Protein backbone atom coordinates (compact mmCIF):
# COMPACT_ATOMS: atom_id res chain seq x y z
CA UNK A 1 0.00 0.00 0.00
CA UNK A 2 1.43 3.43 -0.94
CA UNK A 3 1.87 6.22 1.60
CA UNK A 4 -0.89 8.30 -0.07
CA UNK A 5 -3.41 5.49 -0.13
CA UNK A 6 -2.58 4.58 3.46
CA UNK A 7 -3.21 8.18 4.53
CA UNK A 8 -6.60 8.07 2.81
CA UNK A 9 -7.41 4.82 4.58
CA UNK A 10 -6.42 6.25 7.96
CA UNK A 11 -8.58 9.33 7.40
CA UNK A 12 -11.58 7.20 6.57
CA UNK A 13 -10.94 4.88 9.49
CA UNK A 14 -10.67 7.75 11.95
CA UNK A 15 -14.22 8.73 11.01
CA UNK A 16 -15.38 5.15 11.42
CA UNK A 17 -14.32 5.19 15.09
CA UNK A 18 -16.93 7.78 16.12
CA UNK A 19 -19.67 5.23 17.05
CA UNK A 20 -17.26 3.48 19.44
CA UNK A 21 -19.66 3.21 22.39
CA UNK A 22 -22.55 2.01 20.25
CA UNK A 23 -20.49 -0.75 18.69
CA UNK A 24 -19.27 -1.91 22.10
CA UNK A 25 -22.76 -1.94 23.59
CA UNK A 26 -24.15 -4.04 20.77
CA UNK A 27 -21.34 -6.55 21.06
CA UNK A 28 -21.59 -6.83 24.84
CA UNK A 29 -25.35 -7.40 24.75
CA UNK A 30 -25.09 -11.18 24.42
CA UNK A 31 -23.25 -11.48 27.72
CA UNK A 32 -26.09 -9.55 29.34
CA UNK A 33 -28.82 -11.76 27.87
CA UNK A 34 -30.07 -14.84 29.71
CA UNK A 35 -31.96 -17.39 27.65
CA UNK A 36 -34.24 -20.29 28.46
CA UNK A 37 -35.49 -19.24 31.91
CA UNK A 38 -38.31 -21.69 32.68
CA UNK A 39 -41.35 -20.49 34.64
CA UNK A 40 -44.41 -22.41 35.81
CA UNK A 41 -46.97 -20.54 37.94
CA UNK A 42 -50.53 -21.29 39.03
CA UNK A 43 -52.76 -18.43 40.22
CA UNK A 44 -56.39 -17.36 40.33
CA UNK A 45 -56.41 -16.59 36.62
CA UNK A 46 -54.22 -17.05 33.56
CA UNK A 47 -53.55 -13.30 33.46
CA UNK A 48 -52.40 -13.23 37.08
CA UNK A 49 -50.30 -16.35 36.57
CA UNK A 50 -48.64 -14.76 33.51
CA UNK A 51 -47.82 -11.55 35.37
CA UNK A 52 -46.36 -13.41 38.35
CA UNK A 53 -44.41 -15.83 36.14
CA UNK A 54 -42.84 -13.17 33.96
CA UNK A 55 -41.79 -11.12 36.98
CA UNK A 56 -40.37 -14.21 38.66
CA UNK A 57 -38.58 -15.24 35.48
CA UNK A 58 -36.91 -11.86 35.14
CA UNK A 59 -35.67 -12.01 38.73
CA UNK A 60 -34.29 -15.53 38.17
CA UNK A 61 -32.61 -14.34 34.98
CA UNK A 62 -30.95 -11.45 36.81
CA UNK A 63 -29.72 -13.81 39.54
CA UNK A 64 -28.22 -16.07 36.87
CA UNK A 65 -26.59 -13.12 35.13
CA UNK A 66 -24.98 -11.91 38.37
CA UNK A 67 -23.53 -15.38 38.91
CA UNK A 68 -22.36 -15.48 35.29
CA UNK A 69 -20.28 -12.33 35.69
CA UNK A 70 -18.77 -13.07 39.11
CA UNK A 71 -16.59 -15.66 40.82
CA UNK A 72 -18.46 -18.41 42.65
CA UNK A 73 -16.64 -17.42 45.85
CA UNK A 74 -18.57 -14.13 45.73
CA UNK A 75 -22.02 -15.60 45.05
CA UNK A 76 -23.01 -15.50 48.74
CA UNK A 77 -22.52 -11.70 48.65
CA UNK A 78 -24.55 -11.07 45.52
CA UNK A 79 -27.50 -8.67 45.89
CA UNK A 80 -31.06 -9.96 45.80
CA UNK A 81 -32.73 -7.18 43.80
CA UNK A 82 -36.37 -6.32 44.45
CA UNK A 83 -38.95 -6.59 41.71
CA UNK A 84 -38.70 -2.84 41.04
CA UNK A 85 -34.90 -2.92 40.79
CA UNK A 86 -35.10 -5.91 38.46
CA UNK A 87 -37.61 -4.15 36.23
CA UNK A 88 -35.35 -1.10 36.02
CA UNK A 89 -32.45 -3.33 34.94
CA UNK A 90 -34.40 -5.21 32.24
CA UNK A 91 -33.80 -3.96 28.71
CA UNK A 92 -36.38 -6.29 27.21
CA UNK A 93 -37.58 -9.87 27.18
CA UNK A 94 -39.04 -12.40 24.79
CA UNK A 95 -41.31 -15.35 25.38
CA UNK A 96 -39.66 -18.27 23.59
CA UNK A 97 -42.55 -20.64 24.23
CA UNK A 98 -45.64 -20.59 26.40
CA UNK A 99 -48.65 -22.63 27.45
CA UNK A 100 -51.61 -21.44 29.50
CA UNK A 101 -54.78 -22.77 31.04
CA UNK A 102 -57.42 -20.88 33.00
CA UNK A 103 -55.15 -20.75 36.07
CA UNK A 104 -51.66 -21.86 34.99
CA UNK A 105 -48.92 -20.28 32.90
CA UNK A 106 -45.80 -22.11 31.65
CA UNK A 107 -43.13 -20.45 29.52
CA UNK A 108 -39.45 -20.10 28.64
CA UNK A 109 -38.16 -16.53 28.71
CA UNK A 110 -35.16 -14.78 27.15
CA UNK A 111 -34.28 -11.68 29.17
CA UNK A 112 -31.85 -8.91 28.18
CA UNK A 113 -30.46 -6.52 30.79
CA UNK A 114 -28.93 -3.05 30.71
CA UNK A 115 -25.20 -3.49 31.34
CA UNK A 116 -24.83 -0.19 33.22
CA UNK A 117 -27.56 -1.11 35.71
CA UNK A 118 -26.03 -4.53 36.39
CA UNK A 119 -22.54 -3.08 36.80
CA UNK A 120 -23.85 -0.55 39.32
CA UNK A 121 -25.46 -3.33 41.39
CA UNK A 122 -22.17 -5.20 41.64
CA UNK A 123 -20.04 -2.13 42.26
CA UNK A 124 -22.35 -1.05 45.06
CA UNK A 125 -21.55 -4.36 46.79
CA UNK A 126 -17.84 -4.10 46.04
CA UNK A 127 -17.94 -7.30 43.97
CA UNK A 128 -15.51 -7.64 41.08
CA UNK A 129 -16.87 -8.96 37.82
CA UNK A 130 -15.72 -9.92 34.35
CA UNK A 131 -17.09 -8.92 30.96
CA UNK A 132 -14.68 -10.62 28.57
CA UNK A 133 -16.28 -13.59 26.87
CA UNK A 134 -13.95 -16.45 25.98
CA UNK A 135 -13.87 -18.23 22.66
CA UNK A 136 -16.21 -21.25 22.64
CA UNK A 137 -14.90 -24.52 24.04
CA UNK A 138 -16.14 -27.95 23.00
CA UNK A 139 -17.73 -29.97 25.79
CA UNK A 140 -17.76 -33.77 25.90
CA UNK A 141 -20.32 -35.07 28.42
CA UNK A 142 -19.85 -38.57 29.93
CA UNK A 143 -22.40 -40.15 32.26
CA UNK A 144 -21.71 -43.27 34.34
CA UNK A 145 -24.46 -44.99 36.28
CA UNK A 146 -23.75 -48.38 37.74
CA UNK A 147 -20.93 -48.97 35.28
CA UNK A 148 -23.12 -48.22 32.27
CA UNK A 149 -21.33 -45.37 30.53
CA UNK A 150 -22.96 -43.05 27.99
CA UNK A 151 -21.29 -40.38 25.89
CA UNK A 152 -22.64 -40.23 22.34
CA UNK A 153 -26.03 -41.84 23.11
CA UNK A 154 -29.16 -39.71 22.61
CA UNK A 155 -30.37 -40.99 25.98
CA UNK A 156 -27.40 -39.47 27.86
CA UNK A 157 -29.16 -37.54 30.70
CA UNK A 158 -26.02 -35.61 31.64
CA UNK A 159 -25.76 -34.15 28.14
CA UNK A 160 -29.47 -33.27 28.30
CA UNK A 161 -29.01 -31.46 31.63
CA UNK A 162 -26.14 -29.40 30.18
CA UNK A 163 -28.09 -28.60 27.01
CA UNK A 164 -30.76 -26.88 29.11
CA UNK A 165 -28.28 -24.25 30.23
CA UNK A 166 -27.64 -21.01 28.33
CA UNK A 167 -24.41 -22.20 26.71
CA UNK A 168 -24.10 -19.52 24.02
CA UNK A 169 -24.10 -16.50 26.33
CA UNK A 170 -21.95 -17.95 29.12
CA UNK A 171 -18.68 -16.33 30.10
CA UNK A 172 -17.05 -19.35 28.49
CA UNK A 173 -19.49 -20.39 25.73
CA UNK A 174 -19.80 -24.13 25.24
CA UNK A 175 -20.42 -26.23 22.14
CA UNK A 176 -21.95 -29.69 22.38
CA UNK A 177 -20.77 -32.06 19.61
CA UNK A 178 -23.42 -33.47 17.32
CA UNK A 179 -22.35 -37.05 17.94
CA UNK A 180 -22.64 -38.38 14.40
CA UNK A 181 -21.08 -41.58 13.09
CA UNK A 182 -17.82 -39.87 12.12
CA UNK A 183 -17.38 -38.55 15.65
CA UNK A 184 -17.88 -42.02 17.08
CA UNK A 185 -14.68 -42.93 15.24
CA UNK A 186 -12.81 -39.79 16.26
CA UNK A 187 -13.28 -40.14 20.01
CA UNK A 188 -14.17 -43.18 22.10
CA UNK A 189 -15.25 -43.16 25.74
CA UNK A 190 -11.90 -44.64 26.70
CA UNK A 191 -10.00 -41.92 24.84
CA UNK A 192 -12.11 -39.19 26.43
CA UNK A 193 -11.68 -40.61 29.95
CA UNK A 194 -7.93 -41.05 29.54
CA UNK A 195 -7.46 -37.56 28.05
CA UNK A 196 -6.16 -38.61 24.63
CA UNK A 197 -5.07 -35.16 23.47
CA UNK A 198 -4.74 -36.10 19.80
CA UNK A 199 -8.23 -37.56 19.60
CA UNK A 200 -9.70 -34.64 21.57
CA UNK A 201 -7.90 -32.12 19.34
CA UNK A 202 -9.21 -33.86 16.21
CA UNK A 203 -12.75 -33.55 17.53
CA UNK A 204 -12.19 -29.93 18.52
CA UNK A 205 -11.00 -29.04 15.02
CA UNK A 206 -14.37 -30.09 13.61
CA UNK A 207 -15.87 -27.20 15.56
CA UNK A 208 -13.02 -24.71 15.36
CA UNK A 209 -12.43 -25.10 19.11
CA UNK A 210 -8.93 -24.93 20.58
CA UNK A 211 -10.16 -26.06 23.99
CA UNK A 212 -11.97 -29.34 24.65
CA UNK A 213 -13.52 -29.96 28.07
CA UNK A 214 -14.38 -33.46 29.26
CA UNK A 215 -17.04 -33.37 31.99
CA UNK A 216 -17.80 -36.77 33.50
CA UNK A 217 -20.51 -37.46 36.06
CA UNK A 218 -20.88 -40.63 38.09
CA UNK A 219 -24.17 -41.41 39.83
CA UNK A 220 -22.97 -42.55 43.26
CA UNK A 221 -24.53 -43.09 46.69
CA UNK A 222 -23.17 -39.70 47.79
CA UNK A 223 -24.77 -37.93 44.83
CA UNK A 224 -23.58 -36.86 41.40
CA UNK A 225 -19.79 -36.84 41.32
CA UNK A 226 -18.47 -34.42 38.69
CA UNK A 227 -14.94 -34.46 37.28
CA UNK A 228 -13.86 -31.73 34.84
CA UNK A 229 -10.71 -31.92 32.70
CA UNK A 230 -9.69 -29.29 30.16
CA UNK A 231 -7.38 -29.91 27.22
CA UNK A 232 -5.87 -27.51 24.69
CA UNK A 233 -5.00 -23.87 25.35
CA UNK A 234 -6.48 -24.06 28.83
CA UNK A 235 -4.97 -27.26 30.25
CA UNK A 236 -5.73 -27.30 33.99
CA UNK A 237 -5.67 -29.89 36.79
CA UNK A 238 -8.82 -31.97 37.19
CA UNK A 239 -11.60 -30.36 39.21
CA UNK A 240 -13.93 -32.56 41.29
CA UNK A 241 -17.28 -31.61 42.83
CA UNK A 242 -20.33 -33.44 44.19
CA UNK A 243 -23.95 -32.38 43.65
CA UNK A 244 -27.36 -33.83 44.43
CA UNK A 245 -28.82 -33.82 40.91
CA UNK A 246 -27.67 -33.62 37.31
CA UNK A 247 -29.30 -30.20 36.95
CA UNK A 248 -27.33 -28.92 39.95
CA UNK A 249 -24.20 -30.45 38.47
CA UNK A 250 -24.85 -28.62 35.18
CA UNK A 251 -25.11 -25.31 37.04
CA UNK A 252 -21.94 -26.18 38.96
CA UNK A 253 -20.13 -27.10 35.76
CA UNK A 254 -20.87 -23.68 34.27
CA UNK A 255 -19.57 -22.08 37.45
CA UNK A 256 -16.37 -24.14 37.49
CA UNK A 257 -15.57 -23.42 33.86
CA UNK A 258 -16.48 -19.77 34.23
CA UNK A 259 -14.30 -19.33 37.33
CA UNK A 260 -11.24 -20.56 35.48
CA UNK A 261 -11.71 -17.87 32.85
CA UNK A 262 -12.87 -15.07 35.15
CA UNK A 263 -9.78 -15.37 37.36
CA UNK A 264 -7.69 -14.56 34.29
CA UNK A 265 -9.83 -11.67 33.03
CA UNK A 266 -11.48 -9.89 35.98
CA UNK A 267 -10.05 -6.42 36.43
CA UNK A 268 -9.96 -4.62 39.77
CA UNK A 269 -11.95 -1.35 39.79
CA UNK A 270 -10.10 1.87 39.14
CA UNK A 271 -7.23 0.32 37.18
CA UNK A 272 -6.90 2.58 34.14
CA UNK A 273 -4.05 2.44 31.67
CA UNK A 274 -3.01 3.80 28.28
CA UNK A 275 -0.81 2.53 25.50
CA UNK A 276 0.28 3.56 22.05
CA UNK A 277 0.34 0.71 19.57
CA UNK A 278 1.11 0.19 15.91
CA UNK A 279 -1.63 -1.59 13.97
CA UNK A 280 -0.15 -3.72 11.21
CA UNK A 281 -2.49 -4.27 8.29
CA UNK A 282 -2.34 -4.36 4.52
CA UNK A 283 -6.07 -4.38 3.68
CA UNK A 284 -9.22 -2.68 4.89
CA UNK A 285 -10.60 -6.05 5.97
CA UNK A 286 -7.66 -6.61 8.28
CA UNK A 287 -8.13 -3.19 9.84
CA UNK A 288 -11.86 -3.79 10.29
CA UNK A 289 -11.15 -7.04 12.11
CA UNK A 290 -8.76 -5.30 14.49
CA UNK A 291 -11.01 -2.26 14.97
CA UNK A 292 -14.04 -4.42 15.74
CA UNK A 293 -12.04 -6.44 18.23
CA UNK A 294 -10.95 -3.27 20.01
CA UNK A 295 -14.41 -1.71 20.10
CA UNK A 296 -16.02 -4.96 21.26
CA UNK A 297 -13.55 -5.56 24.08
CA UNK A 298 -15.09 -4.43 27.39
CA UNK A 299 -11.67 -3.53 28.76
CA UNK A 300 -11.20 -0.83 26.11
CA UNK A 301 -12.89 2.48 26.92
CA UNK A 302 -11.15 4.77 24.46
CA UNK A 303 -9.49 4.55 21.06
CA UNK A 304 -7.93 7.28 18.94
CA UNK A 305 -6.01 7.14 15.68
CA UNK A 306 -2.82 9.16 16.19
CA UNK A 307 -1.45 8.89 12.66
CA UNK A 308 0.51 6.47 10.57
CA UNK A 309 3.84 4.78 10.35
CA UNK A 310 5.46 2.77 7.61
CA UNK A 311 3.84 -0.32 9.17
CA UNK A 312 0.26 0.96 9.29
CA UNK A 313 -1.81 2.93 11.75
CA UNK A 314 -0.75 4.22 15.14
CA UNK A 315 -3.46 4.22 17.82
CA UNK A 316 -3.84 5.39 21.40
CA UNK A 317 -5.77 2.91 23.56
CA UNK A 318 -7.31 3.63 26.95
CA UNK A 319 -8.19 0.49 28.85
CA UNK A 320 -8.86 -1.07 32.23
CA UNK A 321 -6.50 -3.59 33.79
CA UNK A 322 -3.14 -4.76 32.53
CA UNK A 323 -1.70 -5.14 29.05
CA UNK A 324 -1.62 -8.92 29.60
CA UNK A 325 -5.35 -9.03 30.30
CA UNK A 326 -6.05 -6.78 27.33
CA UNK A 327 -4.02 -9.13 25.12
CA UNK A 328 -5.96 -12.14 26.44
CA UNK A 329 -9.24 -10.39 25.73
CA UNK A 330 -8.24 -9.44 22.18
CA UNK A 331 -7.01 -12.96 21.48
CA UNK A 332 -10.62 -14.15 21.79
CA UNK A 333 -11.31 -12.14 18.63
CA UNK A 334 -8.21 -13.47 16.83
CA UNK A 335 -6.18 -10.30 17.31
CA UNK A 336 -2.71 -10.46 18.83
CA UNK A 337 -1.22 -7.75 21.01
CA UNK A 338 2.54 -8.17 21.47
CA UNK A 339 5.45 -6.04 22.64
CA UNK A 340 9.00 -5.90 21.36
CA UNK A 341 11.83 -3.36 21.41
CA UNK A 342 9.82 -1.12 19.10
CA UNK A 343 6.73 -1.03 21.34
CA UNK A 344 3.25 -2.55 21.15
CA UNK A 345 1.99 -4.20 17.97
CA UNK A 346 -1.57 -5.17 17.02
CA UNK A 347 -2.25 -7.51 14.15
CA UNK A 348 -4.86 -9.98 12.97
CA UNK A 349 -4.01 -13.62 13.72
The dihedrals phi and psi of 66, each to the nearest 5 degrees, come to: -60, -40
Domain annotation covers residue 21: no
pLDDT tens for each residue of 126-179 = 999 998 899 999 999 999 999 999 999 999 999 999 999 999 999 999 999 998
Residues of the domain holding 77 = 29-124
CATH code, domain carrying 117: 3.30.1660
Domain annotation covers residue 291: yes
Helix axes 46-69, 115-124, angle to 10 degrees: 60
Pair (94, 141) in one structural domain = no
Domain annotation covers residue 312: yes
133 neighbors 171 (Cβ within 8 angstroms): yes
Domain annotation covers residue 20: no
CATH code, domain carrying 167: 3.40.50.10070
Pair (36, 155) in one structural domain = no
Pair (38, 57) in one structural domain = yes
CATH code, domain carrying 334: 3.30.70.100
Pair (220, 279) in one structural domain = no
pLDDT score of 339: 94
pTM over 0.75: yes
Pair (145, 255) in one structural domain = yes
Pair (261, 318) in one structural domain = no
How many domains, the chain? Answer: 3
Domain annotation covers residue 344: yes
Domain annotation covers residue 130: no
Question: What average pLDDT does the segment 106-112 reach?
Answer: 95
Residue 283: pLDDT over 90:
no
pLDDT score of 33: 94
Domain end point (choices 249, 265, 281): 265
pLDDT tens for each residue of 3-48 = 444 444 444 444 444 334 333 433 344 789 999 999 999 999 999 9
Pair (164, 256) in one structural domain = yes
Domain annotation covers residue 225: yes
Contacts of 153 (CB under 8 A, 6+ apart): none
Domain annotation covers residue 2: no
Tell me how many degrees the CA angle 287-136-304 measures, rounded to the nearest 5: 25
Pair (152, 209) in one structural domain = yes
Pair (95, 188) in one structural domain = no
Pair (157, 193) in one structural domain = yes
Strands 312-320 and 272-280: antiparallel
Domain end point (choices 124, 155, 180): 124
pLDDT score of 297: 87
What span, in angstroms and rounded, lies between the C-alpha atoms of 309 and 345?
A: 12
Pair (192, 293) in one structural domain = no
What span, in angstroms and rounded, lies between the C-alpha atoms of 115 and 244?
A: 33
Pair (306, 196) in one structural domain = no
Domain end point (choices 124, 150, 165): 124
Amino acid sequence: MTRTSLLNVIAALALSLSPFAAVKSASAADLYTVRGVHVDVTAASATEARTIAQGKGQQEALAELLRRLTLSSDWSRLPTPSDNVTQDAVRGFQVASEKASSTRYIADLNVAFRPAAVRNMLRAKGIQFGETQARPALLVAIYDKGGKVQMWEDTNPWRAAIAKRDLDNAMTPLLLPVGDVQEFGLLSVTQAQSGDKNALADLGRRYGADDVIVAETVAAASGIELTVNRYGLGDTPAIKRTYQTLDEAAVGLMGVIGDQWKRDTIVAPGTQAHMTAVVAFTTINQWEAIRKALTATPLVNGLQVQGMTTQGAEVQISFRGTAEKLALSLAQANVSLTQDVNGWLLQAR
